[in-house]
Amino acid sequence: MAKIIENLAQIQVNIDQAKERSNYGQPVQIIAVTKEVDVARTAEAIDAGLLHLGENRPEGLLVKREAIQQFANWHYIGSLQTRKVKQVINEIDYLHSLDRLSLAEEIEKRAQHVVKCFVQVNVSGEESKHGLTAEETIDFLHSLANMTKIEVVGLMTMAPYSDNKELIRSVFRNLKKLQQEVVALKLPYAPCTELSMGMSNDYEIAVEEGATFVRIGTALVG
Ligand SMILES: *Cc1c(COP(=O)(O)O)cnc(C)c1O
């Protein structure tokens, strides 16, 4: 396995170059997706300066939270079953997979602090993917009006797994458009300034299209 610090240096160069090609001049935060690696490798990521970590299962998140004492921001990036909310919601800083009212209601009931959430959007409409359609997203946001524990900081999507770069780009571009529509609503609980998009294979395209959080596993810690 390559040293994380070396992977990170290369990824950072790629991100900086992609930012120069972007029209948005946005800050970009790397989330190190540690779901496939153990506690030691996760600690190595933190030592390399990666202070945003992503997990997609309650078990993995809780084991690492318990074992790792250093400060980090924990992101839950997987689909979250309603009955698992109480286990994880007070252990995380960001949730990237808010995709239904029943989940929002359970968060409202269990969270002891305001949770920064991304609404997950299935831009590509692939059946295998979680998330709301673009059309459903605005109505869903309005339905969160009375929730006190949810702040919608942004939108999240996953591009199709494909070699077709223009297809991937169109997905990210559509999420950016939707984000701008949400921002224009000026909902106090949904500033929606962030875009969580881009993984090992497509983070440069995502940054070019306005990503502010990229979620990188394999290329960084794998
Ligand atoms: C696994 C995962 C990632 C990271 O994927 P890589 O291809 O390993 O970079 C990003 N986002 C989500 C939602 C994931 O499940």
Reported confidence tier of residue 21, pLDDT bands at 50, 70, 90: very high
The token pair at 73 is 């921001």
Residue 77 Cβ inside 6 Å of ligand 1? The answer reads yes
Tell me what the mean pLDDT of segment 150-174 comes to: 97
pLDDT tens-place string over residues 35-49: 999 999 999 999 999
**What single string gives the DSSP state of each residue in 118-151?**
EEEB-TT--TTS-SB-HHHHHHHHHHTTT-SSEE
Kindly state the percentage of the chain with pLDDT values over 70. Answer: 100
- Supply the pLDDT for residue 129: 82
Distance 6 CA to ligand 1 centre (A): 20
- 124: closest CA among 215, 197, 210? 197
CB atoms within 10 A of CB 183: 14
Residue 48 Cβ inside 6 Å of ligand 1? The answer reads no
| Spatial separation of the C-alpha atoms in residues 162 and 157, rounded to whole Å | 15
Q: Where are the domains of the chain?
A: 2-221
Mean pLDDT, the chain, rounded, equals: 97
- Supply the pLDDT for residue 125: 84
pLDDT tens-place string over residues 80-130: 999 999 999 999 999 999 999 999 999 999 999 999 999 999 998 888 789
CATH superfamily of 2-221: Alanine racemase (3.20.20.10)
Is residue 148 predicted with pLDDT exceeding 90? yes
Whether 205 and 188 have beta carbons less than 8 Å apart is answered as no
pLDDT tens-place string over residues 188-222: 999 999 999 999 999 999 999 999 999 999 999 99
- Supply the pLDDT for residue 73: 98
Whether 94 and 120 have beta carbons less than 8 Å apart is answered as no
Residue 56 Cβ inside 6 Å of ligand 1? The answer reads yes
78 contacts: CB under 8 Å, gap ≥ 6:
35, 55, 56, 57, 97
- Choosing from 30, 33, 129 the residue with most ligand 1 atoms within 8 A of its CB, the one to mutate for a pocket test is 33
CB atoms within 10 A of CB 17: 13
